[in-house]
Structure 1
Amino acid sequence: MNINQSETQNHVSSEFPLVSIVMATYNGNKYLTQQMESIVAQSYPNIEVIIVDDRSTDDTVEILQRFQQQYSFLKIIRNEVNLGYIKNFEKGCLLANGELIALCDQDDYWHIDKIKNMQAAIGNYPLIYCDSILCDEHLKPLGVNISDRVNSIDFNSCLQQVVFCRIYGHATLMTKFFLQQAVPFLEVIPHDWWLCYMATFYGGIKYLPEQLVSYRQHAANIFGVVGSKSRKHNKINKAERNRLEMSRIRTRMNAFYNACPDALVKEKAVLKKLVKTYQDFSLVNNFQRMMLFFKYQDQFLASKKRSAIRRYLFCLKMFVIIK
């Protein structure tokens, strides 16, 4: 390497810190090539791509290897056992070398300036997210953005993320320092939800109102169109599904309560009350849960794009429903 090359690399690394793009793959051959094309075409000049494959049985790895032959900044890790998507993302994040980490799904399409614009806007925040365009399986826009369906704003309180999170991993960029505070990921909480909740303790979440991802909606999504239910338990009978959902919610609420710093006295007290009301469907707990939702609806429903009357009705329903 000559002196000019060294100076150029030093300039790039100082002005454009390394960004690690972390992708978790599993049998993603159908849409993977398009996504990879959008990643390697990023205008940001200093990236590495960490791809962790979770024992794919199709030709996902072969597709990745073809890209790796052309782009030296791609690293492919193949799991020896299946980890599941949450722990697969955690593994990739822990292998990242960049000062900043961007999560990446295997089936979307990134706009060319996604990393460039998000890196320029993150400032001192631990995590930033952008808007996304909802598309069909052929990447044809559906005429609606995520911000049309949910409140896309800055968030600074854990109470704004404890009941609902409508920030999706594919749209996020975070600092490595923050990521190291947020691990391990819990298997009962989607990793992007956990990260957004934890980010409120380290400076909050910034919103960048630019559509920088084409968010593909298709039958194989782990989660469907924004706000819909997970499909992964469709084959389980309703009673068993409800029991599993209740168990997950209780575990999630306890994890959120335990993660909240004692210094946040008000938030900790609210979470403690909320945890208690999630223990069962007794009349006392049902009533107290409903009243908590009425009292803290601005925080609990911060992600919900709803009229005042719909918010009122939602809080009323908490007497018989647990969210």
Structure 2
Amino acid sequence: MNARVNILLSTYNGEQYLSEQLDSLLQQTYPNITIYVRDDGSDDHTLQILEKYQTKCRERQDGGPQIVILQEENPANLGYMKSFWTLLQKCERADYYAFCDQDDVWLPTKIECGVAAMEREKNDIPILYSSGFVYCNENMEVTGYPVQITVPVEFKDVLFYTPAFGFTIMINNKLREQAFSASSLEDMPHDGWCQKIAASMGKFVYDRTVTAKYRRHASTVTYAGVRKLNLVFKWIKNEIFGDGMEEYYRVLRHFYDEYEKVLSDENKETLYVFTKREKSFSLYLKRLFWKERLRPSLGGEAALRISFLLNK
């Protein structure tokens, strides 16, 4: 396989586990890899660790992966969304792009499995690949398994739910191009946005093969790995009693505005129902009594339907 893969790693104060993750990236069995890193304003030893590994890669004689640290005139803390979009925009062109978090561990065949799956597809449409993983504690001891993604993943499945974790995702060039055809992406979650593109305009490919270990610890930035019950409580707190639904609507409105001309009539109609742009009783009823499940778990679906009922 000759396809070029760019691994995109955004770091922030990651000195505790970064070396372990970098080691796992350098041990990938797939040969044609470049690791692009953007540091988001760390004030610990993250940059020194990155530079040490960069030097180590340059000194290799086997033609293995190289590390490219993005150099910026005025580096700033952009937050994870802008940081990943910056990486995807500024890296050299490749065939595929894989998102990477700083404190996980990838199994050696992660990229190889992803490329093999992507190469089986027709890459003239936006393709997103996601693989399986296991939950681990801080010592990388397995503590659990995630809910399997139900395929095929349709557009409705990514409106109020993000099936794939960012670090499991690989996208092709068509998806990258479609993403950057938007006028602005700075405040859009990179993982959720890419999944919306794949589900509405291309294909979402899922492989349940475990290719990564997801580290759960107290300082994790997002709550993606919390227990199911806690996740339901968070949905209730954020969506029924908080402003979480408005954030969903904000993203959906922006997606509609950017891609209205290229969406199918069916997906355009679905999206319009859930953008909540106009005060319409008929649209309220369509949301409330939508005929299909929008989330995989009963708790998540119930929280969403209650939000619709309350016109949140």
Does the alignment reach a TM-score above 0.5? yes
Q: Which residue, 61, 66, 70 being the options, matches 1:77?
A: 70
Contact residue 17 and residue 46 of structure 1 kept, 8 A: yes
| Aligned residue type for 1:270 | T
| Aligned residue type for 1:180 | E
Secondary structure of the structure 1 residue equivalent to 2:76: coil
Which protein has the larger Cα radius of gyration, Structure 1 or Structure 2? 1
Whether 2:306 is the aligned partner of 1:317: answer yes
Q: Write the mapping of 1:144-293 to structure 2, written as runs, cut at 5 A.
A: 144-146=144-146, 149-155=147-153, 157-183=154-180, 186-226=185-225, 244-258=243-257, 259-261=259-261, 264-276=264-276, 287-292=285-290
Tell me the residue number matched to 1:130: 131
Contact residue 110 and residue 212 of structure 1 kept, 8 A: yes
Structure 1 residues 115 and 316: CA distance shift in structure 2, 3 A: closer
Secondary structure of the structure 1 residue equivalent to 2:289: helix
Which structure 1 segments of 5+ residues have no match? 1-14, 230-237
Report how far residue 252 of structure 1 moved: 1.3
Report how far residue 45 of structure 1 moved: 0.9
1:134 and 1:255 map into 2 onto residues whose CA distance is 33
1:312 and 1:94 map into 2 onto residues whose CA distance is 35
Q: Write the mapping of 1:290-301 to structure 2, written as runs, cut at 5 A.
A: 290-292=288-290, 295-297=291-293, 300-301=294-295
Contact residue 162 and residue 256 of structure 1 kept, 8 A: no
2:85 and 2:301 map into 1 onto residues whose CA distance is 38
Secondary structure of the structure 1 residue equivalent to 2:167: helix
Whether 2:12 is the aligned partner of 1:26: answer yes
- TM normalised by structure 1 equals 0.79
Tell me the residue number matched to 1:121: 117
- TM normalised by structure 2 equals 0.81
Report how far residue 68 of structure 1 moved: 0.6
Report how far residue 279 of structure 1 moved: 6.5
Structure 1 residues 318 and 139: CA distance shift in structure 2, 3 A: same
1:40 and 1:316 map into 2 onto residues whose CA distance is 45
Q: Which residue, 26, 42, 48 being the options, matches 1:40?
A: 26
1:131 and 1:16 map into 2 onto residues whose CA distance is 24
Contact residue 11 and residue 39 of structure 2 kept, 8 A: yes
| Aligned residue type for 1:245 | G
Contact residue 35 and residue 68 of structure 2 kept, 8 A: yes
Once the two structures are superposed, what CA deviation does each residue of 1:133-158 show, in whole Å capped at 9, x if it has no partner?
1111221100x222xx2434342x32
1:25 and 1:55 map into 2 onto residues whose CA distance is 8
Structure 1 residues 66 and 316: CA distance shift in structure 2, 3 A: closer
| Aligned residue type for 2:100 | C
Report how far residue 224 of structure 1 moved: 1.9
Once the two structures are superposed, what CA deviation does each residue of 1:20-66 show, in whole Å capped at 9, x if it has no partner?
11100111111101000100111111110100111111100001111
RMSD value over aligned CA atoms? 3.0
| Aligned residue type for 2:194 | L
2:245 and 2:260 map into 1 onto residues whose CA distance is 21
1:137 and 1:159 map into 2 onto residues whose CA distance is 35
Contact residue 162 and residue 192 of structure 2 kept, 8 A: yes
Structure 1 residues 321 and 96: CA distance shift in structure 2, 3 A: farther
Secondary structure of the structure 2 residue equivalent to 1:30: coil
Q: How many residues of Structure 1 are paired with residues of Structure 2 in the alignment? A: 287
2:9 and 2:305 map into 1 onto residues whose CA distance is 40
Contact residue 250 and residue 279 of structure 1 kept, 8 A: no
1:312 and 1:113 map into 2 onto residues whose CA distance is 35
| Aligned residue type for 1:48 | T
1:56 and 1:296 map into 2 onto residues whose CA distance is 44
| Aligned residue type for 2:57 | Y
Q: Percent identity?
A: 26
2:160 and 2:249 map into 1 onto residues whose CA distance is 12
Which structure 2 segments of 5+ residues have no match? 59-65, 229-236
Report how far residue 246 of structure 1 moved: 4.4
Contact residue 134 and residue 210 of structure 2 kept, 8 A: yes
1:70 and 1:249 map into 2 onto residues whose CA distance is 43
Q: Which residue, 104, 111, 121 being the options, matches 1:108?
A: 104
2:214 and 2:267 map into 1 onto residues whose CA distance is 33
Contact residue 150 and residue 305 of structure 1 kept, 8 A: no
Structure 1 residues 138 and 91: CA distance shift in structure 2, 3 A: same
